[in-house]
Structure 1
């Protein structure tokens, strides 16, 4: 019987996959290695309630409610987790190990100091469930540390929206992976807390969620394109 240890990918393979995925730009960038100065563990950020990033949202959007700030900050973080992890699985067959992730002291950028992961086809579990655990473990820790009350299903909807947004962006950049990308995204959206958060609405992996990130309540906000309340086109300017 194979073990998780047997499925471990080499450090070089994981690093190469993450570097390739980062070349896609935007939320796909997950920094690898480098000096430790300027970074701290995500566990510290979660324990602090992601307060600094929520405050940055409040300054940028002049929001009237703390829960809007938290929601937008969590949505941006979810996008930075799902995007590189999803792309690594689809493009390279590697589930990255996100346990040791760090965050920049001055912003939301993420870094893995020592790349590690597993070959998806060597795991006894499905790649979807392995990927789900890696990402939602972080989002659960973030939710537990929040100092502001936000509906759990709103946060789950943000996670699903970030996943679908990552899949939509990856498909536009690498259309040849439509089949496996669609299969993996569909399975993920039926897994755990993502189940029931929304539905894929087209072959380009557009998504309609059943909740709302609250961005429309910001002074210059509006309903996002996947909003459960209505069809819009704008999204919060995630940082």
Structure 2
């Protein structure tokens, strides 16, 4: 009995290690460039660890069962009758329920944190239309630009709307996307943490030119952002 349990555990550990290597080595998500995406990735890895544990347990039981209790191909006999195990049934009901609740609680906390705008966020209106983005900086006399420029480590609140059809604002490295809907305002908070150039993508099929509906997003230092504002107003 003990030897069988040890073999089962060994199989589970090997499977878990293989899955961990796959999860860590391969790049599954874009490089984070915002505080909000850092939190989202934390939820992703939290759920991934739980998933690896569950998958390793189930796969280990399957492999062990096939290995230890395989019968000849010509054996058509039914197995011995087995009565239910109350303790085991309670365990495999309670443990998944606890794990699902844990994932839900962590996700709710992150969702609430990502929705906090702080005291003075940079206000930007993102307007989608076939097939371009327009950004209006409300704090700077409604300055309009075809590219998105943000100061690093400064919270920005994007208020989205659309002129014609449904669009979806998405910067993969910021980790969030939000629909831009005609006649309705939606919003997200983004706090960029890494300077560089990124892509604003429309993530909602919006017509023949959907694939070309992109804009440049630049995250720069505060001083460079102030210079850019002055240049646009010149």
TM-score (norm 1): 0.29
TM-score (norm 2): 0.29
Query: Which structure dedicates a bigger proportion of its chain to helix?
Result: 1
**Taking CA–CA contacts closer than 8 Å with sequence separation of 6 or more, which of the two structures ends up with the larger relative contact order?**
1
